[in-house]
Structure 1
Amino acid sequence: MDVTDVSVTLGSVQALDSVSLEVEQGEFLGVIGPNGAGKTTLLRTISGVLTPSGGTVTVDGQDITDLPSKASSRLVAVVPQETSLAFDFTVREVVEMGRTPYRNRLTLESSADEEMVTQALERTRTAGFADRAIGEVSGGERQRVLLARALAQDTPVLLLDEPTASLDINHQIRTLELVKSLVEAGKTIMAPIHDLNLAAHYCDRLLLLADGKRTALGSPDEVLTESNLEAAFGTDAVVTNNPVTGSVYVMALPDGARDRDGPHVHVIGGGGAAARLLYLLAASGYQVTTGALNEGDADVETARMLGIDAVTLEPYAPIDEASAEKVKEEVESAAVTVIPDLAIGHGNLPNLRAAAHADNLILVEDRPFEERNYAGVRGEERYHSLRERGTVVESRNVLEAVESAIESS
């Protein structure tokens, strides 16, 4: 699919301004941008609903604007964000509507039509309630029904308008996992996605629109940069990597969060487990320290990049008494001490002993402790003694926990 210098004018508003992009077969392109950036207008233009004032949209080498409605509907299917049906059709009847481009008023449903509908119902796991009225299904189920209708349309390109909007996290993940499987099967899919972190995890590439213009196009790493987000959304954001999935992770910050005149927070790091926390805490304005860490550790590199003071040791060296005392001093002076979701070995037990001197202690747990304990009974005893007096949170809630601990002190 090729979009070449497409411009769209709606009344006196330039909704799209010379937008160009190419989407390969079997690619999932996410479209991001602030409200009013032109995301939905772009989808409506690609589907042929809007005629561009300039430029072209071609699918399989055919200019969409030159095709009659039925012909374009055999190339591009649309899953709208919201839809209203005049009658209370059954789920199966809604999915059967996807075969309309292949039939006329005198044509009965063929065996091929029936097969496509059956496959679409099964692929979207909607066959189990195919005979229910569309008005009786939940929001998440309804989204899958609309996707099934688009699959029954049997087009090379699928356009999904905010497919996760108004869905709870469970249905968001299920929907995007389904979309991912369709892409792997060869479908070309384009979708505006409001949640930048979901877009980063599931999309092959991202298109960033702002004021109707293409601001950036590329991999999530290339598009989701702090400078791009500041320019498009007008917000300060921290861009790191999700510690579990490895995909880009975006967190918006309040105004003035990077001034770093906030309270002192000490982070017990190791093995790269603290890198994201160091970034988030420093960007949120806290005076951050970390250690003790061996030179060469990813957390040391992150600390240096951010200008964070770190208690360091030679590579592979154990934590000596002098270093342990420095860590203890940092912990005692800190308003909050944070222990990331790190692996516990005999080498970092002195760090845990120092953490016992914390006034406020936060332990991050994204994995069960048993999966990351390599220090046996000593590690278990030391960690659980800290856990009994600390606050346990998931990594996504660390900033809120730190703020709460400081406010209650």
Structure 2
Amino acid sequence: MTDARIDVEDLRVDRGDLTVIDGVDATVERGRFVGLIGPNGAGKTTLLRTLAGTLAPTAGRVRVADLDVQRASARDVGRRVAVVPQNTTVAFDFTVRDVVAMGRMPYHSMFKETDDADRRAVDTAMERTSVTQFAKRSIDSVSGGERQRVLLARALAQETPVLLLDEPTASLDIDHQIHTLELVRELVEGGKTAVAAIHDLDLAARYCDDLLLLSDGGVLGYGPPEEVLTAPQLAESFDANAAVTGDTVTGTPTVTALPDAGDAEGRVHVVGGGGSAGRLLYALTVAGYDVSIGALPEGDADHETARALDVPAVTVPPYTAVDAATAERVAARVSEADVTVVTDVDVSDGNRRTLDAAARADALVVVEGRPPDERITDDARESYERLRARGRVVTPENALDAVADALDGPTPNQRRPMADD
């Protein structure tokens, strides 16, 4: 089998007086799926066209599957590289099957007729992309999303070791987006090499082995998704404030764009756990509050959210009860805060000390989305009831407003005495 490796060496591409790509070095090994990510204008499409040999670099070299694509014939390149373009327009009114069959052109001389191998390749490609039912229809009569799948089928019929895709899911509904990327993933696991420009960062992280992050025509990051999708690199490339957390289903990074922080003032300490505080942490951070959280087990869902949002957290090792020293750290955070919020967390003897520290808050908000009986053990019930008696009990939807109300109260920075003080 032809080696499906891609080598890019010190690549520069100028378009008129504008340098679109400059100094790009990258190697894609056989059997890897690389996602090209970056803001509009970063050079993703230009890089793909250069890899395909349809755009000549100003400097540097590109080798794809043992071939210098700039010096090779179009037929030789076409036997190694198949392209799924972003533009799905087809110049003439061919049938869908005719369009897919165009993928066999690199294997034909002017006088060679279609043979059984061609027909099998076309049939297989159409079946794998779920376009067989459109075979006799005009390409102009199918929708944009269906046309995108037809062009993917054409690329598959080409039977090349390398597949290049420019926004392959842009016109597809969510079901066909997943089907398309699952298919590319399957092809890669079978030995192909794929490079795709992908707009959706979460999908790119989920399906790609590596991500190549372009910014201002250069490579800002290249490697596994968890190494490339970091808040600082996303801020530099997209000029955006973003939080990167782990998807609870897939385990891959997921990116949440954040608006610029608001102008709310005040310190808020959150007692959460098990994912109960995630949305509130996001809302408080976006509003502009100075937020802390804890105590939390290391690796807890709320801990991961806090890390992504750069929220300081008091932590304990996993499956460990809050000890006296940790409780003192929580108490210090509570004492520094203007408002303390206890979220809809499971309550047991393991976090009772945290609840007792929260009960000494200047102003206290208790969030209840689930009935207490479903999440509180008997050994911690007394501590929780003291919280409810001293705090304002609200639903999750009203938690942010309750924090603002507490800050506007008459004595937000004076410690509220406890019943036994």
Q: TM-score range, shorter-chain basis?
A: 0.7 to 0.9
Could you say which residue in structure 2 is the equivalent of 1:261? 265
The AA in structure 2 aligned to 1:107 is: K
1:221 to 220, 226, 240: 226
Structure 2 counterpart SS, 1:306: coil
Q: CA deviation at 1:147?
A: 0.6
Could you say which residue in structure 2 is the equivalent of 1:59? 64
The AA in structure 2 aligned to 1:59 is: V
Structure 2 counterpart SS, 1:334: strand
1:86 to 83, 91, 94: 91
Could you say which residue in structure 2 is the equivalent of 1:298? 300
Matched-pair contact (CA < 8 Å) for 2:283–2:400: no
Structure 1 counterpart SS, 2:47: helix
2:141 to 136, 141, 147: 136
Counterpart-to-counterpart distance in 1, 2:199 and 2:244: 16
Counterpart-to-counterpart distance in 1, 2:26 and 2:190: 22
Q: CA deviation at 1:334?
A: 3.3
The AA in structure 2 aligned to 1:123 is: R
1:334 to 365, 369, 374: 365
Could you say which residue in structure 1 is the equivalent of 2:410? none
Return closer, same or farther for 1:156/1:404 CA change in 2, 3 Å cut-off.
farther
Question: Aligned residues: percent identity?
Answer: 45
Could you say which residue in structure 2 is the equivalent of 1:196? 201
Larger radius of gyration: 2
2:12 is equivalent to residue 7 of structure 1: yes
2:267 is equivalent to residue 233 of structure 1: no
Counterpart-to-counterpart distance in 2, 1:196 and 1:64: 29
Return closer, same or farther for 1:255/1:109 CA change in 2, 3 Å cut-off.
same
Could you say which residue in structure 1 is the equivalent of 2:342? none
2:171 is equivalent to residue 156 of structure 1: no
2:43 is equivalent to residue 43 of structure 1: no
Q: Once the two structures are superposed, what CA deviation does each residue of 1:283-305 show, in whole Å capped at 9, x if it has no partner?
A: 433454656x5766736866697
Return closer, same or farther for 1:321/1:250 CA change in 2, 3 Å cut-off.
closer
Counterpart-to-counterpart distance in 1, 2:384 and 2:181: 40
The AA in structure 1 aligned to 2:96 is: V
Could you say which residue in structure 2 is the equivalent of 1:368? none
Could you say which residue in structure 2 is the equivalent of 1:177? 182
Counterpart-to-counterpart distance in 1, 2:281 and 2:197: 28
The AA in structure 1 aligned to 2:50 is: T
Counterpart-to-counterpart distance in 1, 2:376 and 2:39: 45
1:248 to 244, 249, 253: 253
Matched-pair contact (CA < 8 Å) for 1:265–1:337: no
Structure 2 counterpart SS, 1:96: helix
Could you say which residue in structure 2 is the equivalent of 1:372? none
Q: Once the two structures are superposed, what CA deviation does each residue of 1:131-168 show, in whole Å capped at 9, x if it has no partner?
A: 22223333332222111100001111111001121333
Counterpart-to-counterpart distance in 2, 1:206 and 1:336: 40
Q: TM-score, normalised by structure 2?
A: 0.75
Matched-pair contact (CA < 8 Å) for 2:348–2:376: no
Matched-pair contact (CA < 8 Å) for 2:296–2:314: no
The AA in structure 2 aligned to 1:298 is: D
Gaps of 5+ in 1: 363-390, 392-400
Q: CA deviation at 1:345?
A: 7.4
Could you say which residue in structure 1 is the equivalent of 2:74? 69
Could you say which residue in structure 2 is the equivalent of 1:361? 395
Q: TM-score, normalised by structure 1?
A: 0.77
Matched-pair contact (CA < 8 Å) for 2:88–2:147: no
The AA in structure 1 aligned to 2:322 is: L
Could you say which residue in structure 2 is the equivalent of 1:187? 192
| Alignment root-mean-square deviation, CA | 3.7
2:352 is equivalent to residue 318 of structure 1: no
2:107 to 96, 102, 105: 102
Gaps of 5+ in 2: 1-5, 327-346, 407-421
Q: CA deviation at 1:127?
A: 1.7
The AA in structure 2 aligned to 1:186 is: G
1:23 to 28, 34, 47: 28
Q: CA deviation at 1:323?
A: 4.8
Structure 1 counterpart SS, 2:70: helix
Matched-pair contact (CA < 8 Å) for 2:352–2:380: no
Matched-pair contact (CA < 8 Å) for 2:21–2:43: yes
Counterpart-to-counterpart distance in 2, 1:43 and 1:90: 27
The AA in structure 2 aligned to 1:313 is: V
